[in-house]
Amino acid sequence: MSKVPELFSSLVFNETVMKARLPKDTFKALMKTRKEGQPLVPDVANVVANAMKDWAVENGCTHFTHWFQPMTGITAEKHDSFIYPIDSEKVIMEFSGKELIKGEPDASSFPSGGLRATFEARGYTAWDPTSDAFIKDDTLCIPTAFCSYGGEALDKKTPLLRSMNAINKQALRILRLFGNTTAQRVNTTVGPEQEYFLIDRDLYLKRRDLVYTGRTLFGAKPPKGQEMEDHYFGVIKPRVKAFMKDLDEELWKLGILAKTEHNEVAPAQHELAPIFTGTNIAADHNQLTMEIMKKVAAKHGLACLLHEKPFDGVNGSGKHNNWSIATDDGVNLLDPGDSPRENAQFLLFLVAVIEAVDEHQDLLRLSVASAGNDHRLGANEAPPAIISIFLGDELTAILDSIEQGKHYAQKDKEVLTIGVDELPPLPKDATDRNRTSPFAFTGNKFEFRMLGSTVSIACPNMMLNTIVADVLEKYADRLEKAKDFTKELNTIVHDAYHAHKRIVFNGDGYTDEWVKEAKKRGLLNLASTADALPYYTLPENVKLFEHHGVLAKDEVYSRCDIQLENYTKQLHIEALTMVDMVYKDILPSAGKYMKDLSEEVVTKAAACAEVTSAFEKDTLKELSKLSDALYKEVKVLQKAIDGEGKGSVQEQAQYSRNTLFAQMEKTRKVADEIEQIVGKSYWPYPTYGDLLFSV
Ligand code: ADP
Ligand code: MG
């Protein structure tokens, strides 16, 4: 392996490469576009495109692609080669500014949630110059936004970029009020911690449920699961270590700051955390990370499972979205700071987040809603489906004292005036980490822990940026008009905390008491995707997105429909796979075992009258009962599938949840009982024990 610093970002057309390869003027114009969003003039685009192509070809590329993030939640690409015929026998490698700036993939095969019906089926991809082009599989990948011809966003990236602009605008207003004249832009930063499972690839391929749906639809509990708690932070096995080494190298080449890798709670479960970056880059990088994890795993004879709940009975996988707000000159606005002014500014941003999260619990909840994540939220392993904020005792005590007009800790002084007095020091390392909170303050950032492992982080961050921008706008309006800035600031912090402190909860979020307490506090508890998504289109939410220019009304509706449809489709595929496995494998295997047992009984009796067959007979009786029961359940499941497709997308999603999924659970239960008594060599699939301890 070449040295890491040389390897790092070697497949990225980054600023260093641009500077080295572009004429000075072109480089300057491009930097201006990146920083200020100025459109590129065609001449400049041509020069950039040519330099990109030369660099790509030198690095072994033959093709280019516009790389985008449609609403499928994964990335899409359509490859074109650079070849350009100059006569009937010769080609040269060509790439124009036009090809760089705009692409026209056929939009009609991507989900558009009704936008397609009213607008043209064609869509286009537009270069996002804020995200560097890179090389993947000998192809130059150009990060792009994907829109319809009417301009509606058909992807996850466009609204994310818009939300970043929204929070930038409002946060800058606040900073100016605090006398900051240097910051030119405020960005949100994200470091997503990614969980995943690694299992042996040959075993993976033997499970149609894993291949089709990403999770096991059947599987009896193995004798050993995660109860010994011996996997978390355990020694990394050689095969996994080799995978991680390879993965790191591939990620580093793409400029992805892969930093921490360790074993997670469940057997075969691991985590990768990158160092944080700007949100849109983090979103690109997380998509790439997931894709490359799968590829590198395959190279090592492994399968990387990114599903939220690949195995019942052991922990599922999530993604912790560490989020903060920072200026372009490197100041983290959620860092408490030392001076009175920094503290005051911190408190204002802090209560803005508290207010935003309380006001928009629905949007945060639905941004992480998916069929896969329904298995985690509220299931005693991930944070509950109820949104709350963990602040820690110190910070809560400070806010409580502000609210109650009491001075915190320093008794000899008057009541604390924000912006004038020094705040009591806040603990820098938040050691009292609360792992059960869905949204935890961890010293200088918030950790949103409800994300499922497969989800694109674009949507949750689009929500966070937008809802915080909305609150900051209100504050900025008030503060700009205030006669006495400090007084108004104190009032805002006091009132905001007073009105929204119900969202703060520092206790154990996994308990039933919290569920009851949250209900008393009036917090939302949206148990499933089908329950959460309808909130997307509430008039106040549509207004919010429109107001900040993040999503137009049609875009909100289309997104809601797409997510509901995805949910219904996912469960549909799971149900079909289940029926298929029961009829084709599980019942026949049980039958074969019963046949052999029966023959054994007969043979044994014929051989010698005194020989008894207690085990065979008991098992036969039990298995034949269970077989009949499974047959009955699977027929009900088939009926439930036949009953799909009625009503609105919302009604269909509810049906999937209440009827289809409920029947899948029943079917599985019987099949798992069968698995427990069928002889190992008869069982058609690798068992949980085989899968979880396969590497
Ligand atoms: P932990 O104890 O949870 O591992 P770390 O400090 O190592 O905490 O951070 C976990 C993740 O949070 C990493 O991806 C890290 O880069 C990210 N992170 C740290 N600071 C910030 C920040 N200001 N904004 C966004 N993410 C951050
Ligand atoms: Mg963490």
CA of 469 to the centre of ligand 2 (A): 25
Q: What share of the chain is helix, strand, coil (3-state, %, to 5)?
A: 50, 15, 35
pLDDT band at 303 (very low <50, low <70, confident <90, very high): very high
Q: Say which range, 271-285, 322-336, 375-389, has the weakest mean pLDDT.
A: 375-389
Q: Which residue has the tokens 């004038």?
A: 420
In this predicted model, what pLDDT tens digit does every residue of 86-104 receive, in sequence order? Answer: 999 999 999 999 999 988 8
Task: Give residues with Cβ within 8 angstroms of 556, minimum separation 6.
Answer: 536, 537, 541, 542, 545
CATH entry, 4-154, from 2.60.40.1250, 3.10.20.70, 3.75.10.10, 3.40.50.150: 3.10.20.70
pLDDT, mean of residues 158-187: 95
pLDDT band at 118 (very low <50, low <70, confident <90, very high): very low
CB 77, CB 139: distance < 8 Å: yes
CB 627, CB 587: distance < 8 Å: yes
Q: Amino acid identity of 346?
A: F
CB 189, CB 277: distance < 8 Å: yes
Cα angle: 255, vertex 259, 264; to 5 degrees: 130
In this predicted model, what pLDDT tens digit does every residue of 434-492 receive, in sequence order? Answer: 788 999 999 899 999 999 999 999 999 999 999 999 999 999 999 999 999 999 999 99
Neighbour-count burial for 194-220, b at 16+ CB within 10 Å, e otherwise = bbbbbbbbebbeebbbbebbbbbbbbb
pLDDT, mean of residues 172-184: 95
What ranges in 521-648 are assigned the alpha helix state H? Answer: 529-532, 539-547, 553-581, 587-607, 614-642
Distance CA 466, CA 320 (A): 19
pLDDT score recorded for residue 150? 81
Task: Give residues with Cβ within 8 angstroms of 48, minimum separation 6.
Answer: 18, 22, 26, 30, 40, 97, 100
Relative to beta strand 302-305, strand 318-327 is: unpaired
pLDDT band at 433 (very low <50, low <70, confident <90, very high): low
Relative to beta strand 139-148, strand 63-68 is: parallel
Q: Does domain 192-326 correspond to CATH entry 1.10.3720.10?
A: no
Ligand nearest to the CA of 282: 1
Q: Does residue 340 register a pLDDT over 80?
A: no
Q: Does residue 406 register a pLDDT over 80?
A: no
In this predicted model, what pLDDT tens digit does every residue of 524-575 receive, in sequence order? Answer: 999 999 999 999 999 999 999 999 999 999 999 999 999 999 999 999 999 9
pLDDT score recorded for residue 418? 73
CA of 191 to the centre of ligand 2 (A): 9
- Ligand 1 in reach of 324 Cβ (< 6 A): yes
Distance CA 170, CA 465 (A): 10
For the chain, what are the domain ranges? 4-154, 156-183+331-549, 192-326, 567-692
pLDDT band at 111 (very low <50, low <70, confident <90, very high): confident
- Ligand 1 in reach of 9 Cβ (< 6 A): no
Share of the chain above pLDDT 70, in %: 94
Q: Does residue 428 register a pLDDT over 60?
A: no
pLDDT score recorded for residue 2? 65
pLDDT, mean of residues 377-395: 86
CB 76, CB 69: distance < 8 Å: yes
CATH of domain 567-692: 1.20.120.1560
Cβ neighbour number for residue 137 with a 10 Å cutoff: 12
Ligand 1, from 276, 286, 461: best to mutate by most atoms within 8 Å of Cβ?
276
Residue 603 DSSP SS3: helix
CA of 193 to the centre of ligand 1 (A): 8
Q: Does residue 148 register a pLDDT over 60?
A: yes
Distance CA 422, CA 265 (A): 42
Looking from the CA of residue 335, the nearest atom of ligand 1 is 23
pLDDT score recorded for residue 40? 81
- Ligand 1 in reach of 278 Cβ (< 6 A): no
In this predicted model, what pLDDT tens digit does every residue of 3-61 receive, in sequence order? Answer: 899 999 999 999 999 999 999 999 999 998 888 777 788 889 999 999 999 999 999 99
CA of 316 to the centre of ligand 2 (A): 15
pLDDT score recorded for residue 407? 60
pLDDT score recorded for residue 431? 47
ipTM above 0.85, yes or no: yes
CB 465, CB 167: distance < 8 Å: yes
pLDDT score recorded for residue 149? 80
Ligand 1, from 260, 322, 448: best to mutate by most atoms within 8 Å of Cβ?
322
CA of 193 to the centre of ligand 2 (A): 7
Query: How much is the mean pLDDT over the chain?
Result: 92
CA of 374 to the centre of ligand 2 (A): 21
Q: Does residue 512 register a pLDDT over 80?
A: yes
